[in-house]
């Protein structure tokens, strides 16, 4: 049984190495052979901006999340708290373009705040495009994530600790000093690193809100070098730099690693004594809710009030929707199979190796891999619809870390419990899957499938590089409409994309954390 699993793992590994190695090799050769570019200053500027926006985004997202998480932890019985936490989880499932559309709807030149400023005859409203807008959008996406992760840690304080605190007569300040802040300090480096990593690898937000050369990150610069200037040499150098930065950040994040809680803030902290000001907590939670839910409400309101009905009969939109669904479903199916293969191999060992392998595509950004494949496809003269299978495969690569993170621990636990019994009964292969693994892993499989689908449905990085010539997905169409200032269409498309992703997220198993192993 172990041998068969190792063989499956080896096949998955070879495919993974091929899909990752070929584009990296193509980029390396292009970097060496490419025409001479006097790009030193440009590379430095782009790298500096990448790190600056990521640093600001991480500091603001996590810095603001601390009081919000504390306020939520203080108020376990707040009416509507569970709903609010669910809504806080929404941005994680939403494609970045939807959030950007909502943010433009609130903070843009023609947005709600600008309109309000107009009533007070404040004519100079700051532009959403550039560093401020990028950081704002990153905070919109990462503040709820950081809040949920911090809250999960705060709620993990054992009931005995609270009882000791009560027995010792600790007041609100003592509880903050002796219990809450140490708990926050424990996970803070990891959360900061995570948000920093997400912001470094953020493509869509910077592409849509970045304002020209002064506000361009490495990933966006790679895209621009390929699609605007067709300068493979520059793209390759940028890609190598991006991989180096990502590796450095991943290394730093790994060094600061502390156990991260999977179940984020869905429970109530048991035994916490009442402390702190009710009004202050309420105000903090209210402000955070308005900040996070405002742009989502703007997408719904904008989408419903504008050209939704006419858009839904537009053949271009329908084709983009169908393309998104086909690519999404194909990538989810293949991503599930690939992650399951890696999980089977991990169960046969060496487990740590496969854990790391499954995370490789988090470190090597999708735009870098897509750029390498784009160069290869260009050399072979493949373009347009002919690259659709490649788009699916690249989406599979992007989905593997998420799907594998669900399946690897579940399959490993199942193997530990059931292998000896299954072997003694002679259950192997498909029969074992049908009778044992399939039924016991169905929740985890559904979650892995859904996560892979969500990643693929929201992708703009890969499709922006390969798209065009009829190969257009919903996010790409939305990006094109945003770029041509057809905001009515963009609002309606964002609403469709939001509905699609939230429907998929809604169908996912609520949690496998309470039941992480079958």
Task: Please give the residue ranges that form the binding site for other proteins (CB under 8 A).
Answer: 158, 160-161, 163-164, 166-171, 174, 178-179, 182, 185-186, 271
Q: Nearer Cβ to other proteins, position 186 or 469?
A: 186
Least separation in angstroms between residue 165's CB and other proteins is 9
Q: How far is CA 10 from CA 16, 117, 342, 412, in A?
A: 10, 61, 9, 17
Answer for the pair 106, 290: CB distance below 8 angstroms, yes or no. Answer: no
State the residue for tokens 């950040």. Answer: 249
Cβ distance to other proteins smaller for residue 276 or 468: 276
Determine the Cα–Cα distance for residues 403 and 447; give it in Å rounded to an integer: 8
Instruction: CB nearer to other proteins: give 179 or 205.
Output: 179
User: Which residue carries 């708990």 as its tokens?
Assistant: 183
β-partners of residue 468 are 471
Angle at Cα 58 formed by Cα 408 and Cα 213, nearest 5°?
A: 110
Longest dimension (CA), the chain: 80
Q: Pick between residue 37 and residue 176 the one whose CB is nearest to other proteins.
A: 176
Half-sphere exposure at residue 473, Cβ-oriented, CA atoms within 13 angstroms: 26
Q: State the Cα–Cα distance between residues 47 and 250, nearest whole angstrom.
A: 16
Alpha-carbon distances of 67 from 73, 261, 279, rounded to whole Å: 10, 19, 13
CB of 163 to other proteins, least distance (A): 5
CA distance 266 to 88: 11
Say whether the peptide bond before residue 350 is cis (omega within 30 degrees of 0). yes
Q: Within the chain, how many helices (H) and strands (E) appear?
A: 24, 0
The 8-class DSSP code of residue 304 comes to H
State the nearest-atom distance from the C-beta of 164 to other proteins, in Å.
7
Strands, E assignment, 385-468: none
CB of 68 to other proteins, least distance (A): 23
Tell me whether residue 179 or residue 236 sits nearer to other proteins (CB atom): 179
The CB-of-66 to other proteins minimum distance in angstroms stands at: 17
Closest to other proteins by CB, 161 vs 266, is: 161
CA nearest to 139, candidates 189, 198, 51: 198
C-beta closer to other proteins: residue 163 or 442: 163
Task: Report, in this order, helix, strand and coil percent for the chain, each rounded to 5.
Answer: 80, 0, 20
Q: Closest distance between other proteins and the C-beta of residue 184, in Å?
A: 11
Q: From the CB of 258, what's the least distance to other proteins, in Å?
A: 12
Closest separation in Å from C-beta 186 to other proteins = 8
Give least dist CB 69 to other proteins, A: 18
Nearer of residues 165 and 436 to other proteins, judged by Cβ: 165
C-alpha separations of 155 from 145, 147, 150, 163, 193 in Å: 15, 12, 9, 14, 21
CA distance 463 to 367: 9
By beta-carbon proximity to other proteins, the closer residue of 274 and 484 is: 274
- Which is closer to other proteins, CB of 86 or CB of 173? 173
Cβ of residue 182: shortest distance to other proteins, in angstroms?
4
């Amino acid at each position: 049984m172990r041998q068969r699993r190792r063989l499956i793992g080896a096949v998955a590994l070879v495919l993974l190495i091929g899909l990752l190695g070929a584009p990296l090799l193509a980029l390396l050769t292009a970097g060496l052979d490419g025409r001479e570019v006097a790009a030193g200053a440009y590379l430095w500027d782009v790298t500096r901006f990448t790190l600056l926006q990521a640093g600001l985004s991480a500091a603001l997202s996590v810095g603001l999340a601390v009081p919000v998480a504390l306020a939520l932890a203080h108020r376990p019985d707040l009416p509507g708290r569970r709903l609010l936490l669910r809504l806080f989880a929404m941005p994680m499932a939403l494609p970045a373009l939807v959030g950007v559309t909502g943010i433009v709807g609130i903070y843009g030149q023609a947005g709600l705040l600008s309109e309000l400023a107009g009533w007070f005859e404040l004519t100079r409203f700051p532009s959403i495009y550039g560093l401020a807008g990028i950081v704002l959008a990153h905070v919109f996406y990462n503040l709820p994530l950081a809040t949920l992760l911090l809250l999960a840690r705060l709620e993990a304080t054992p009931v005995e600790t609270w009882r000791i605190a009560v027995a010792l007569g600790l007041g609100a300040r003592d509880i903050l000093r002796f219990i809450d802040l140490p708990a926050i300090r424990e996970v803070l480096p990891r959360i900061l690193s995570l948000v920093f990593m997400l912001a470094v690898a953020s493509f869509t937000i910077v592409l849509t809100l970045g304002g020209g050369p002064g506000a361009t990150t490495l990933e966006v610069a790679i895209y621009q070098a390929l699609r605007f200037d067709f300068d493979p040499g520059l793209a390759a150098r940028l890609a190598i730099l991006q991989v180096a930065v990502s590796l450095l950040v991943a290394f730093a994040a790994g060094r600061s690693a502390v156990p991260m809680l999977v179940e984020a803030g869905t429970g109530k902290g048991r035994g916490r004594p009442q402390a702190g000001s009710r009004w202050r907590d309420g105000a903090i939670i209210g402000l955070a809710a308005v900040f996070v839910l405002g742009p989502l409400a703007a997408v719904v309101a904008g989408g419903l009030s504008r050209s939704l009905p006419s858009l839904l009969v537009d053949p271009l939109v329908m084709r983009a929707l169908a393309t998104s669904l086909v690519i999404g479903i194909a990538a989810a199916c293949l991503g599930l199979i690939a992650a399951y293969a890696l999980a089977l191999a991990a169960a046969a060992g060496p487990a740590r190796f496969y854990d790391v392998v499954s995370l490789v595509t988090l470190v090597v950004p999708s735009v870098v891999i897509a750029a390498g494949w784009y160069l290869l496809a260009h050399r072979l003269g493949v373009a347009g619809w002919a690259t659709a299978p490649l788009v699916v495969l690249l989406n599979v690569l992007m989905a593997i870390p998420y799907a594998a993170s669900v399946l690897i621990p579940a399959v490993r636990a199942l193997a530990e419990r059931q292998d000896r019994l299954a072997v003694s009964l002679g259950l192997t292969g498909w029969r074992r899957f049908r009778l044992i693994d399939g039924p016991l892993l169905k929740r985890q499989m559904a979650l892995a499938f859904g996560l892979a689908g969500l990643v693929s449905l929201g992708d703009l990085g890969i499709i922006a590089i390969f798209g065009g010539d009829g190969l257009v997905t919903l996010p790409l169409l939305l990006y094109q409409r945003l770029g041509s200032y057809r905001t009515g269409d963009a609002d309606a498309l964002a609403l469709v994309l939001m509905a699609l992703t939230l429907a998929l997220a809604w169908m996912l198993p609520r949690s496998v954390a309470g039941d992480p192993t079958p």
